[in-house]
Structure 1
Amino acid sequence: MRLNDPLITDFTFNGETYSIDLSFDNVLDVFDVLSDNVLNDLEKAETSLGLLIGSTPKSDVIDIWNFIYQEFIKIDVEASIEYDRKGNPMPIQEEQEKLIDLNIDAEFIYASFQQAYGMNLYKEQGKLHWHEFQSLLNGLPDETIMKRIIQIRAWKPKNSDPPDYKTNMEKLQRKYALEEKEVE
């Protein structure tokens, strides 16, 4: 995201220009489609394109979908590359742990936006762009419930932590754990 670039409302693919609705709630609907276990990949792409551009193109469905996902939707969590004294990249230690889930944490995200920005996300549906939403979510102040939950999930015990503090943090980690919900 660059502040001197306009928010994306259309794009060109293979010489064809498409309008695109990247409001945050629409993108969240796309994530719901992508997590649907009944649809195959082509059906997911067609449905997602229907939500985002209002129609399904006659051809290049998968290519257009992949372009949109990579360019406008994908959430990149890039690990910072560390270098040794000679400037050589150090090996990446481990994959970054998932600390937030847009579905499971929806009520905490809502409360945090209300607390930090005075923003009612329900009133912002259809208006707040996905890139704006991501920026505001990433910039939540430490005092918000969502930021506190992220800190709890990321906490690792230290030898210097008092036993009662460790016990309390472990209890909070169990309470706010991101576990896969079983489908009934």
Structure 2
Amino acid sequence: MKLTERFTDEIEYKGQTIKLNLAFDNVLRVRELLQDDVFSGAEKLLILFEMLVKNANGLNFSFNEINQLIGFIFDEILFPKKGSDGRSHFDFDQDAAFIYASFLQDYKMDLFEMQGKLHWEKFLALLEGLSDDTKFKEVVSIRAQKIPAPTKYNQEERKRLIELKRIYRLKNKKPSLEEADAVLMSISKALKKSYKKGR
């Protein structure tokens, strides 16, 4: 984002002006479509073209040209690769309620009322700028936090963090090796205690 430039809602392609629909809710629907198993790849491409290009009906492009255009929009405008930005620790669908509540808390902004109005890049900038005391940032912080090595002083803290990580774990993501080891270790300790008591 540059404050000296306007958002790229229009691009030139094959000598024609492409008018884009980059409202945040539209881009989130695009993400949902990509994960949908109902449509074939070709069908998705044509639907994406209609979703993202406001003047799609007035354009006469071949299937290959549409494919190239959508690829450009994805790679250069919507999801440019800028290195790791922590997105592995949240999911737009699973965390929708946390995002909604956090925007309301920090910005007094109702995201339902902003559908069709709030630009995708503005949405991402505001999401990144949420304060640490919002629920969204709290949950992301829990997921990103490493479980400390066990000592005789931190058993309760480890137990609490393991439980929080279990509660807020991303559904489409397997527990890390570190988390799995920590859970196995706590199970092992519990079994040893019950074994000693039984003797």
Bin for the TM-score computed over the shorter chain: 0.7 to 0.9
Counterpart-to-counterpart distance in 1, 2:53 and 2:138: 36
CA 1:174–1:75 in structure 2 vs 1: closer, same or farther (change >3 Å)? farther
CA 1:97–1:32 in structure 2 vs 1: closer, same or farther (change >3 Å)? closer
1:170 corresponding residue in structure 2: 162
2:128 to 138, 151, 156: 138
Corresponding position: 1:43 with 2:43: yes
1:117 corresponding residue in structure 2: 107
Shift of 1:75: 5.5
Q: Secondary structure at the match of 2:100?
A: helix
CA 1:40–1:171 in structure 2 vs 1: closer, same or farther (change >3 Å)? same
1:14 corresponding residue in structure 2: 14
2:71 to 66, 69, 79: 66
The aligned runs of 1:91-110 (5 Å cut-off) are 98-110=88-100
Q: Secondary structure at the match of 1:98?
A: helix
Amino acid at match of 2:102: S
Amino acid at match of 2:83: E
Instruction: Please identify, of 35-44 and 106-115, the stretch whose mean Cα deviation from structure 2 is larger.
Output: 35-44
| Matched-pair contact (CA < 8 Å) for 1:42–1:62 | no
More helix by share: 2
Counterpart-to-counterpart distance in 1, 2:130 and 2:70: 30
Give the TM-score, by structure 2 length.
Answer: 0.77
Shift of 1:14: 2.0
Give the unaligned 5+ runs of structure 2: 174-199
1:92 corresponding residue in structure 2: none
Amino acid at match of 2:39: L
Give the unaligned 5+ runs of structure 1: 81-95
Shift of 1:76: 3.6
Larger radius of gyration: 2
Counterpart-to-counterpart distance in 1, 2:84 and 2:143: 18
CA 1:64–1:78 in structure 2 vs 1: closer, same or farther (change >3 Å)? same
Counterpart-to-counterpart distance in 2, 1:30 and 1:44: 9
| Matched-pair contact (CA < 8 Å) for 2:75–2:81 | no
Corresponding position: 1:179 with 2:182: no
Question: Superposition RMSD on alpha carbons, in Å?
Answer: 2.0
How far does the alpha carbon of each residue in 1:121-154 deviate from its partner, in whole angstroms, 9 at most, with x for none?
A: 0011000000000111111110100000001001
Instruction: Please identify, of 143-152 and 29-38, the stretch whose mean Cα deviation from structure 2 is larger.
Output: 29-38
Identity %: 34
How far does the alpha carbon of each residue in 1:139-172 deviate from its partner, in whole angstroms, 9 at most, with x for none?
A: 1110100000001001112236711111111111
